Amino acid sequence: MRTTSKFLAVALTASLQSAMAGTIPLNFEDLTTLSKLNGNYHGVNISGSAWGGTSEVCNGDISFLRAGSCGALWLAVDPTQRKTGKLESLTMSIADGFEGLSFLYSGNATLINLSVHVYDAAGAELGIGLTGLTGQSCANYQFCNWSQPITLNFTGLARSVTFSALDQAVLLDDLTFKTPSTTGRLPEPTSVALALAALGGLAWSRKRKAG
């Protein structure tokens, strides 16, 4: 009886914890070919100059090196063509919004002109964003020097984030969006009700035996 009760309690706790998890991670490890990302990708809508792909180290098409990672997001109009020489942008948005964002990046030159700006549902910018982020070239790969995790701080509920940089100059990886606790995370009411009913039944059974 104790084992069953403990199991149900753990199951209920896990269900409620998942409701409060509140993060959407993107590591691009499921990508196997170089392709344009346009539309929904693991709950995040991606648009603009965004290509996902795999490192040459992992038999892919992007010349980058990062320990423990094969996939990344390339800020590029079309990496199979010549660089435009201009600033290009990609945008990520979440319908229910997000409250925080962290990411890594790698730039294949010093002057990559990377900027990051977050906007709410009305299109107003939240916080001051990031501008003037620089990169560092590599000897054997286009990308190999990666930033430490960068956390973007702002107040309010954001709807989208835009990354801008010189065409084909930046890779992004390990993006984590902190979402409101209820954003698509609530357990099914039926599941919770059944777990609570089962726990209640066990308590009643114990009380009856004790009597």
Q: Which two tokens stand for residue 30?
A: 């499921």
pLDDT (tens, 9 = 90+) of the chain, 211 residues, equals 444 443 334 344 444 444 455 999 999 999 999 999 999 999 999 999 999 999 999 999 999 999 999 999 999 999 999 999 999 999 999 999 999 999 999 999 999 999 999 999 999 999 999 999 999 999 999 999 999 999 998 999 999 999 999 999 999 999 999 999 754 444 444 444 444 454 455 444 444 455 5
Beta bridge partners of 173: 104
pLDDT reported for residue 179: 96
Range of the domain at 120: 22-184
Q: Which two tokens stand for residue 158?
A: 């954001």
Q: What is the CATH number of the domain that holds 174?
A: 2.60.120.200
Residue 121 lies in a domain: yes
Residue 157 lies in a domain: yes
**Structural domain total, the chain:** 1
Looking up tokens 């984590």 gives 176
pLDDT reported for residue 131: 97
Looking up tokens 């925080």 gives 100
Residue 197 lies in a domain: no
Residue 125 lies in a domain: yes
pLDDT reported for residue 182: 56
Residue 50 lies in a domain: yes
Residue 178 lies in a domain: yes
Which of 179, 174, 175 lies closest to 95, judged by CA? 179
Residue 176 lies in a domain: yes
pLDDT reported for residue 211: 54
Sign of CA pseudo-dihedral 104, 93, 181, 29: negative
Q: What DSSP designation does 56 have?
A: G
Beta-strand relationship, 100-107 and 39-41: unpaired
pLDDT reported for residue 17: 41
The order of strands in the sheet holding 125-133 is: 39-41, 44-48, 87-98, 158-166, 114-119, 125-133
- pTM score: 0.77
